[in-house]
Structure 1
Amino acid sequence: MRPSQTPIGLLLAQTAKAVSRAFDDALTEAGGSLPTWLVLMSLMRDGPLGHGELAERVGVQGPTLTHHLDGLEQRGLVRRERPPGNRRVQVASLTEAGTAMFHRLRQAAQAHDARLRAGLAAEDLERLRSLLGRLSANVSPSIQEDPTDDR
C-alpha cells in the first residue's frame, strides 16, 4: 500500500538539503563557503579565539578547523598567533580582508534568509520555529515532554 503523503521526515530532509544547497550557492557566489562563514562569523562576534574554542563554536573537530584556518590564512582572511607565555596555544583573529569578507558573506546570508522568508507572515515564522523545535525534541535522546502533546 502506497503512502498518501510523503513522510514528514523525508520531506524535512529533502527541504533541508535544498535550503542548504541554496545557502552554499549564495555563499560561493559571494566568494566564500559555509566553513568560511562560520569561522568568520565566530571571530567577528567573539573576537580572537583559541583553536579549541573556535572549533567548538563552529562545530568541527580540531584537525578540520586547522584545515579551514590554513586556507583562510593563505587567503589573508585570518591570522594565527601564539600568545606570549603560552607557546602551545594558537589564537585566530580576523584581518581587515577577513572583516570585509565577513560583511560580503553576511549580505549573502541576509539575502538568502529574506528569500526563505518570502511570503511568510511573522506568525508563520513563529509557528515554523516552534514546529522545528518540536521535531528536534522528538528525535533527541532525552525527550523532556510527551512527544504526542500537540500544544
Structure 2
Amino acid sequence: MKASRFPLGPGECFSFALRRAARAVSRQYDEALAPLALNNGQFSMLALLAELGPLRIQKVAETLVMDRTTVTAALKPLQRRKLVRVDVAGDDARAREAVLTPAGEALLNKAMPLWRVQQERLKKMLSAEDAEALRAHLGRLV
C-alpha cells in the first residue's frame, strides 16, 4: 500500500474527518427539516434566539462560531420570512440585535419534533454513551 504524501484522508486529518462528518450530519438534519422549508443552520439560529434572544449580531456570531457578516447574511432569509427581526440595539444605535418573532417561534415549535426524531436517529447510530462522549469531546474543541 502506497503511503499518502498528503494527510487528507479521514484516518489522518482531524479537520477532514470532522468536516466530512459535519456535512453528513447536517444533510440529515436538513432532510428532516425540509418539510418546513428550514435548514439545519436556520433551525440553529431560531433555537438560539428562542433560548437566549434577543441577541446582538456579534453575540450570535460568537456563540455559533461564525463571523458577523456570515450571520447577517444567514439572517436575511429568516427576515424575509418574518421569522426574525433585526432591530437597533436599545443601548447602542450602532449595534443590531436579532429578535425571534411570533412566527419564528411558531415555526420552531413545529420543527422541534422533526429535530427530535433526527436526534434519536443519530443516538441510535452511536449508542447513548458514545453520543454523550462525542458531545463532550466536540465541546472541548470550541
Q: What TM-score comes out, normalization by structure 1 length?
A: 0.70
Name the count of aligned residue pairs.
133
1:98 matched to 2:101: no
The equivalent position to 1:111 in structure 2, one of 108, 113, 117, is 117
Q: Considering only aligned residues, what root-mean-square deviation do their CA atoms show, in Å?
A: 3.1
Q: Which has the larger radius of gyration?
A: 1
The residue matched to 1:32 in structure 2 has which SS? coil
**Quick one: percent identity of the two aligned structures?**
30
Q: Which runs of 5+ in 1 are unaligned?
A: 141-151
The equivalent position to 2:59 in structure 1, one of 50, 53, 60, is 53
- The equivalent of 2:134 in structure 1 is 129
Letter in 2 for 1:57: T
Distance 1:119 1:81 in 2: 41
- The equivalent of 1:86 in structure 2 is 92
Structure with the higher fraction of residues in helix conformation: 2
The residue matched to 1:89 in structure 2 has which SS? strand
- The equivalent of 2:80 in structure 1 is 74
Distance 1:29 1:45 in 2: 23
Q: What TM-score comes out, normalization by structure 2 length?
A: 0.73
**CA 1:65 to 1:118, structure 2 compared with 1: closer, same or farther past 3 Å?**
same
Distance 2:97 2:26 in 1: 30
Structure with the higher fraction of residues in strand conformation: 2
Give the deviation of 1:82 after TM superposition.
Answer: 1.3
1:51/1:65 contact within 8 Å kept: yes
The equivalent position to 1:33 in structure 2, one of 24, 28, 39, is 39
Q: 1:3-42 to 2 correspondence within 5 Å?
A: 8=11, 12=17, 15-42=21-48
Give the deviation of 1:52 after TM superposition.
Answer: 0.4
1:36/1:68 contact within 8 Å kept: yes
The equivalent position to 1:63 in structure 2, one of 69, 74, 86, is 69
Q: Which runs of 5+ in 2 are unaligned?
A: 4-8
**CA 1:29 to 1:44, structure 2 compared with 1: closer, same or farther past 3 Å?**
same
- The equivalent of 2:6 in structure 1 is none
Give the deviation of 1:78 after TM superposition.
Answer: 0.8
